[in-house]
Amino acid sequence: MRNDLILRVGTKLILPFILLFALYVQMHGDYGPGGGFQAGVIGAGSIILYALIFGTEKAKDVVPQRVVEKMIPLGVLLYAGTGVVSMLQGNNYLNYTGFHPDFLHAHEWGILIVELGVLITVAGTMMALFYAFAERGR
Amino acid sequence: MTLLSVFVLPFLAADPGAAAVQVRSAESLDTGLDLFILSLMLTLLAAVTVAIVRNRNMFGVVILFGVYSFLMASVMMTLDAVDVAMTEAAVGAGISTVLFLATLHLTGSMEYPQPRNVLLPLFVSIGVGGALVYGTFYLPAFGIADAPMHVHTAPRFIEMSKDHQMPPNMVTAVLADFRAFDTLGETAVIFTGGLAVLMLLGGRRKKLQGEPDEPAPNDAVNITASGVNGESLSGKVQGRTEA
């Protein structure tokens, strides 16, 4: 597959759009279908596609393994930390009302941060799993 | 024509934002075309399942799993669960297919079933299946509007989204705000699951005695690639174990 011209060129053409779509799904999750989980899977899928076509080593140049392994706990920490911040503001755990004077804006901020945590954990896990399988296979 | 409607209609129905807020009543599901598409896809799902059970070539099974996921995603689209459809398509048909193929590279792609007594497995599956069917008798009817889950907290969620007190995509509002604690748990589950698989698979594998220093040149990527191109997977894997 690495020597297949059509796949190589096609992948190069389509990759930026997949990444952009992942970002769109992440940022637009408040308004349309999607959210952190879907965005994380789509983003990780783009890296896995890159690894399938250009080799795992090239993909590890883009997203190194140590970064991927740190992403897995980082997302959960970001999520749980958001709840701690809201507690420090005097609200319930994961009640975002204190993040902004406007109720709707406060909750949109909270949702955005929390979804970012989900994205980081999901994308990290998916890529780490793929790297682990590719590593094991050799 | 049918195929066209299956694939085009969900996209027409999925006006982003509006679709998320839209609540579908039981009557609209009964209107001909929707019901037809739904039953067609559920029939195909059953057919794919039978094919998965009967197939002994694991490569074919993995591809059929992908087909199953895409059908399931289409069913979810018909039911206006766009978020679930998106997840199903990305995870079921995308990532897990790749991971299954990588697993096949490690295990070989043919299943050799051992001849064994079928009575006990048959009894267990009929028993469990019967219990599950019996359990569905106590569920509220499909699509009914006054089921307990629709009358308890859901009206408040819908009201708040409608009055612009919450983001317009109700699914996101429920997932990441009203029930953010649940989603924290789900994220922790992904974290734990990923960690467990990494502990089983990952890390530098200790070199066994007598194993050559240079790793075999074909990795998962090569194998899955050749599998996609239609070459024999099992041949390569067997060749490697013999070497």
Yes or no, beta carbons of A33 and B171 under 8 Å apart = yes
Give the residue carrying structure tokens 């406007």: A102
| Cα(A94)–Cα(A82) distance, integer angstroms | 7
Is B71 in contact with B41 (CB distance < 8 Å)?
Answer: yes
Q: Please return the burial class of A101, using the count of CB atoms within 10 Å of its CB with bins 0-12, 13-18 and 19+.
A: exposed
- Token digits for B201? 């698979």
Four-residue CA torsion sign, B65, B68, B74, B80: negative
Chain centroid to Cα B170, Å, comes to 22
Instruction: Name B61's bridge partners.
Output: none
Predicted confidence at residue B221, as pLDDT, reads 45
pTM: 0.75
Q: What's the alpha-carbon Rg for chain A, to the nearest Å?
A: 18
For residue A54, report the phi and psi dihedrals to the nearest 5 degrees.
-105, 0
Which residues are bridge partners to B57 per DSSP? B110
| Residues of B whose CB is below 8 A from A35 | 83, 171-172, 175-176
Q: Which residue has the higher pLDDT, B204 or A4?
A: A4
pLDDT tens profile A34-92: 888 999 999 999 999 999 899 889 999 999 999 999 999 999 999 999 999 999 998 88
* Average pLDDT, rounded, for chain B: 75
Q: Which stretch of A29-33, A81-85, B239-243 has the lowest confidence by average pLDDT?
A: B239-243
| Interchain CB contact of A3 with B (< 8 Å) | no
- Residue B129 has a pLDDT of 95
Local confidence band at B80 (pLDDT 50, 70, 90 cut-offs): confident
State the nearest Cα–Cα gap between A42 and chain B, in angstroms: 6
pLDDT for B243 equals: 34
* Contact status of A17 with chain B (Cβ, < 8 Å): no
Over 50: is that where the pLDDT of A11 sits?
yes
Please determine, for residue B23, whether its predicted confidence score (pLDDT) is greater than 70: no
How close A122 gets to chain B, by Cα (Å)?
A: 7
User: Which residues of chain B have a CB within 8 Å of the CB of A69?
Assistant: 198
For residue A1, the model assigns a pLDDT of 57
Give which of B86, B101, B103 to mutate to test A binding, by max A Cβ within 10 Å. B86
Give the number of C-alpha atoms closer than 13 A to the C-alpha of residue B61, restricted to the C-beta side: 16
CA–CA dist B193, A76 (Å, integer): 13
Res. B202 pLDDT band, cuts 50 70 90:
low
Q: Which residue has the higher pLDDT, B125 or B29?
A: B125
The model's confidence at residue A124, banded by pLDDT at 50, 70 and 90, is very high
- Report the pLDDT averaged over residues B46-71: 93
Query: What percent of chain B shows pLDDT beyond 70?
Result: 70
Of B62, B98, B88, B69, the closest CA to residue A131 belongs to: B98
Closest CA to B86 of A22, A49, A48: A22
Place of tokens 């009203």: B178
Q: Which residue has the higher pLDDT, B67 or B6?
A: B67
Give B1's pLDDT tier (boundaries 50, 70, 90).
very low
